[in-house]
């Protein structure tokens, strides 16, 4: 009896000391709380600065307060060919940006470049936020057909299963083709095999879809192109040429040059990489070059590449475009306009500026250069 009384006293003391133990919420209370507007919204506003900002999950470039504008239309009004920036993210896990992805829209038809994380959702984001075009019609399922990969790194290709499978689940019968470096055919074969159970269930289950459009064909850009480039695709709307670039230790990476037949607009996608003759040739006389960039001034704050600034310059410089190197591309190619995408903007919280890398490029002497956000139109 004494033990039982002592037990009750202990429980009472715990409840008194820790009131939350006695205040477990009921289903009705949880239901009500889920229906209310919270002080902090879904986009993490108001934002609470993390104590440790030096991890890959907390660097200032991925804070929501660094994203202070929505999509805008910067496209020339006298041209019908447009470029939609679907995603500008990097491997750093920024929850407010989609992975690298672009779309050239020619005569109302889209051609996609790179397929980063969240590609399928990036389409919806652009449809809902960029009102200058009827994107819901442009992105009709039957139009989700052509993809061009600049290289086969994960962050530029992880969206491919969605490109293939999600559109099929909603009824697309489009015959999908994915152009890219050597190995793209094997990559597509592996993706097709990996999601075969999903595909077969859609075809043989309650939906009973025909198999057309349920897989994709990989088309390697080979034999190897020279720095002068090589035509790899043509239809009634566009000519596409591929040019070799340099990105780390990958053997095959490419820039793509799109020439629209209707209005003559020339658009180049550089993908990732540092200076190369192939990129210069791809961008020669082009109307616009979409290319990556990284800070040199503040590279010491980078969350990867080594321990010292010297190590980071050497390692990161093998993979990415410092301002001085983009200036060489700009000078030697004569490209008319440059748009930065896939930017790595490292700094400490006190000095971080969203346009920091853009300003470094301008200070280097590059003119007619802009910085893109997800959903922008050019």
Which tens digits make up the pLDDT trace of 91-117?
999 999 999 999 999 999 999 999 999
Handedness of CA 79, 81, 86, 90 (dihedral sign): negative
All domains of the chain in start order, with CATH:
68-371 (3.60.15.10)
Name the pLDDT band for 20 (thresholds 50, 70, 90). Answer: very low
DSSP state of 261: T
Res 8: pLDDT: 52
Res 5: pLDDT: 52
Please state, rounded to an integer, the average pLDDT across all residues of the chain: 93
Where would I find the H helices in 170-303? 184-194, 196-204, 277-283
Residue 211 has pLDDT above 70, yes or no: yes
d(Cα 175, Cα 168) in Å, to the nearest integer? 10
Res 21: pLDDT: 45
Yes or no: say if 149 and 157 are a contact pair by the CB < 8 Å rule. yes
Where would I find the H helices in the chain? 2-17, 27-35, 119-129, 135-138, 160-169, 184-194, 196-204, 277-283, 309-319, 323-333, 356-363
As given in the structure block, the two tokens for residue 228 are 């002068």
Coil, helix or strand at residue 10: helix
- Give the pLDDT confidence of 167-195 residue by residue, as tens digits: 999 998 899 999 999 999 999 999 999 99
């Amino acid at each position: 009896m004494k033990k039982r009384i002592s037990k009750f006293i202990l429980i009472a003391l715990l409840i008194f000391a820790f009131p939350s133990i006695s205040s477990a919420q009921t289903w009705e209370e949880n239901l009500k709380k889920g229906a209310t507007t919270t002080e902090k919204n879904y986009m993490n506003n108001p934002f609470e600065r993390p104590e440790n900002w030096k991890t890959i999950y907390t660097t200032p470039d991925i804070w929501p307060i660094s994203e202070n504008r929505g999509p805008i239309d910067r496209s020339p009004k006298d041209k019908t060919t447009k470029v939609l920036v679907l995603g500008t993210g990097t491997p750093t896990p920024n929850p407010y940006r989609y992975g690298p992805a672009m779309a050239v829209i020619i005569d109302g038809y889209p051609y996609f470049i790179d397929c980063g994380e969240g590609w399928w959702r990036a389409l919806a984001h652009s449809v809902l936020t960029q009102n200058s075009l009827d994107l819901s019609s442009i992105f009709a399922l039957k139009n989700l057909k052509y993809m061009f990969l600049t290289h086969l790194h994960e962050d530029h290709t992880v969206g491919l299963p969605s490109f293939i499978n999600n559109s099929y689940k909603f009824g697309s019968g489009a015959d999908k083709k994915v152009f890219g470096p050597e190995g793209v055919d094997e990559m597509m074969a592996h993706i097709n095999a990996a999601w075969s159970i999903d595909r077969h269930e859609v075809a043989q289950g309650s939906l009973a879809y025909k198999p057309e459009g349920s897989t994709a064909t990989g088309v390697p850009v080979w034999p190897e192109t020279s720095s002068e480039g090589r035509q790899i695709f043509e239809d009634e709307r566009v000519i596409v040429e591929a040019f070799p670039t340099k990105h780390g230790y990958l053997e095959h990476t490419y820039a793509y040059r799109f020439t629209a037949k209707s209005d003559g607009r020339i658009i180049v996608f550089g993908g990732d990489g540092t200076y190369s003759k192939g990129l210069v040739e791809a961008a020669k006389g082009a109307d616009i070059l979409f290319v990556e960039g990284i800070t040199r001034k503040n590279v010491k704050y980078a969350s990867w590449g080594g321990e010292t600034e010297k190590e980071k310059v050497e390692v990161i410089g093998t993979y990415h475009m410092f301002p001085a190197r983009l200036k060489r591309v700009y000078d030697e190619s004569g490209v008319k306009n440059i748009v930065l995408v896939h930017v790595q903007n490292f700094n400490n919280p006190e000095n971080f500026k969203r346009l920091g890398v853009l300003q470094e490029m301008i200070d280097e002497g590059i003119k007619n250069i802009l910085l893109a956000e997800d959903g922008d139109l050019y």
